[in-house]
Amino acid sequence: MKRLSPWWRASAVTAAALLAVTTASASAPAQTVQPAQPARPAGHSGTSGVSGVTGDSEFLEPSVSEGGASARHPQGDASRPGRNGRKAPPEFVALRSVDPTILQEMRYFTPHNFVGERIDGYRQPVCLLTRPAARALHAAQRKLLRQGYSLKVYDCYRPQRAVDHFVRWAKDLDDERMKREFYPRVDKSRLFEDGYIAEKSGHSRGSTVDLTLVRLPAKPTRPYVPGEPLTPCYAPRGERFPDNSVDMGTGYDCFDTLSHTDDPRVQGKQRAHRQLLKETLAQAGLVNLPEEWWHYTYKPEPFPDTYFDFPVSYRSLSSPR
């Protein structure tokens, strides 16, 4: 499979250098700034399906069908792009085209998630969002770069077929391969009742994003190896699966009350990091979900009542670049 590494992953790049790039992209938001790319560092894996800061790497479309079970399509006008078809409305963009400096680690393209396998609908490890949401992240990124931080996104637009995949998995009580890391203190039979899994997701409306902060220069992250021993997502940072994010008190997608943004047990630097992320994004118009420190939605949403199902792929966009 073909993979192109983003230039800022391949070396320790300063916040000043990234700020220069994001400033250039602000003056021409429809263009992708592509500085010269240094060679990939030794030890970097180009294999697909592993965890890591993937940037906007491009993968060839898989030829196999997804899931096996038929996906449930949301109700709506089938003639409108994106609802039941393969194309997104023109209001959707790749985050890369608006701000190429924001790091991307698209977890649901990899097996390092609470299901333990690539999720249906994720054809490429790319962040797709409505244009207003992408521009809001760009504004927040400019402020953070001046303080020596970068945003890193874990998930952006999420097709309905991916949500359906979560629902099928949650109903299979025998599949607990990722329990020790992602939901060690939650009985799987309670995932719906406790609100961790639902049949609809705001991500499918295109203006919700899961993200964190990374201190610059960003350090590389090692790939996740399926079947390796797992550590609880609420364990001390040095014991959790390594992530180049700052310490937020839990890992991403941790099904635990410690993930509540303002949980009083989270103090010190962990709380400060959460508040820096929350305050910066709020200034850009993004609203936090109190139960998840990583979950933000741009308001007002361009599509507040529409749940899309086009695949996560550059090919889904009206203007792929």
Residues 6+ apart with CB under 8 A from 3: 46, 48, 57, 58, 59
Assess contact for 209 and 288: CB atoms under 8 A: no
- Tell me the longest C-alpha to C-alpha distance in the chain: 52
In angstroms, how far is CA 43 from the centroid of its own chain? 24
Assess contact for 254 and 233: CB atoms under 8 A: yes
Amino acid at the residue 321? R
Beta-carbon neighbour count of residue 133 at 10 Å? 32
Would you say how long the chain is, in residues? Answer: 321
Tokens linked to 29: 């938001």
Question: Catalytic annotation on 61?
Answer: no
Q: Which residues are catalytic?
A: 292
